[in-house]
Amino acid sequence: MSSNYVIKLTALGPRVRGLRAKCLPKDKLNALILAQTIDDAINALKGTDYGNVIEKLGKITDEAQITNEIRTYVVKSISSLASSVPSPASTILKSYLMRLELENIKVIAKSLMKGLEGGVTLESMINVAVEEELGRRHVLAAIMSVRDIEDLRNKLMEMHHPAGPALDSFVKVSKQYSQYGNALIDTLIDRAFIEYLAHLAEIDNSVGKFVKGLIDFYNLNVFLRSKLWGLSQELVNELVIRTGNVFSTAIKIYGESPTRILEEVASVFPSLDQLIKVAGSSDLRTLVQYLGPFSYRFAKDLEEYMVSLFTEFSPGAALATVHFRFIESDLVITLLNAFLEGLPRDFIVKLYGPVI
């Protein structure tokens, strides 16, 4: 199998290797986490691609600025990789950019629900670069002027957009669970992205293996958060992706104790044991608190597993590397924005230190 990838996708391996080499080493990430000021954090990133992006920004003034510039860099690096390799790898890698378009839709949906704070404009929070790379500026043009969440849903459904069914589900459940509005939008649109990638699995077996890992981790998030928040089985059924080891195990025992759910899910999804180790506890509230930071560790482990199983010449391993790069960039954005949000540094160290 590996030799077939080398023959068919000879150009892919070296380029994936090059992208992996640009990922932040452990010492840089630790320095970023331990930084006491934003200047210390910027110094920690010097000599890296992220450092170059931040240097071009000059004075950092707001979270949207950091988020947009780093994501634009990620968009261009993914697009560059996709355009330099043959099909089907090029098609598969470019498809990952849909994630960034879906992030734009999250921003629009949340602004329709609660508005924007502190004089922030919607335009400043939208990443136009991804639409330009995808040749889909017409999507933004169609949805930027929508009146409300239902109007957004209708526009997306008309375009047969992956986010259309997600917003349709949101409209159905949000009235009963309005206190979880933002979380529901994030969850349902994340599901839409994974389901979008799942359609690529038929192109290559390695892609299917990668998507299977994403599905299990997504479903773990849904079950743990839903159990903590006391969400009904009916709503859980609306949120989960109905396949994979985590789903088939947890759905049958959702009404039982958290301890039982953790034991059973860990037996089919070893990453849960790793999450418990990182959190230093099997307490449900603590585990949910660490789910976000742990996504970095999970993405890193999944990428290493995919490369060892299929080599860097496979589309699935390349997709896993691109995914890890996105998750890493999200971590950098979070750590930099934490200074602007005024979050206590000891809290950041406690939450993110164990996942590196």
* Integer angstrom CA distances of residue 354 from 26, 126, 271, 293, 347: 12, 32, 14, 9, 12
pLDDT of residue 2: 66
Question: pLDDT class for 117, splitting at 50, 70, 90?
Answer: low
187's tokens: 């969850």
Cα distance between residue 176 and residue 5, in whole Å: 49
3-state secondary structure of 61: coil
Cα distance between residue 216 and residue 128, in whole Å: 31
pLDDT of residue 6: 86
pLDDT of residue 229: 96
Q: Residues of the chain with pLDDT > 90: what percent? A: 88
pLDDT of residue 62: 86
Cα distance between residue 307 and residue 12, in whole Å: 12
pLDDT of residue 239: 98
Q: What is the pLDDT of residues 281-314, one digit of tens each?
A: 999 999 999 999 999 999 999 999 999 999 999 9
**pLDDT of residue 127 exceeding 70:** yes
Q: How many CA atoms lie within 13 A of 67 on its CB side?
A: 17
224's tokens: 């743990």
3-state secondary structure of 89: helix
**pLDDT of residue 118 exceeding 60:** no
Cα distance between residue 353 and residue 42, in whole Å: 18
> Where is 149: in which H helix or E strand?
helix 149-158
Taking the CB of residue 96, how many other CB atoms lie within 10 A of it?
24
Choose among 201, 199, 177, 198: nearest CA to 187. Answer: 177
Choose among 53, 323, 31, 5: nearest CA to 193. Answer: 323
pLDDT of residue 60: 76
**pLDDT of residue 157 exceeding 90:** yes
Average pLDDT, the chain: 95
Q: What is the pLDDT of residues 73-107, one digit of tens each?
A: 999 999 999 999 988 999 999 999 999 999 999 99
Q: What is the pLDDT of residues 129-150, one digit of tens each?
A: 999 999 999 999 999 999 999 9
Cα distance between residue 339 and residue 35, in whole Å: 10
Cα distance between residue 61 and residue 339, in whole Å: 11
Give the residue extent of every domain in the chain: 2-355
pLDDT of residue 283: 98
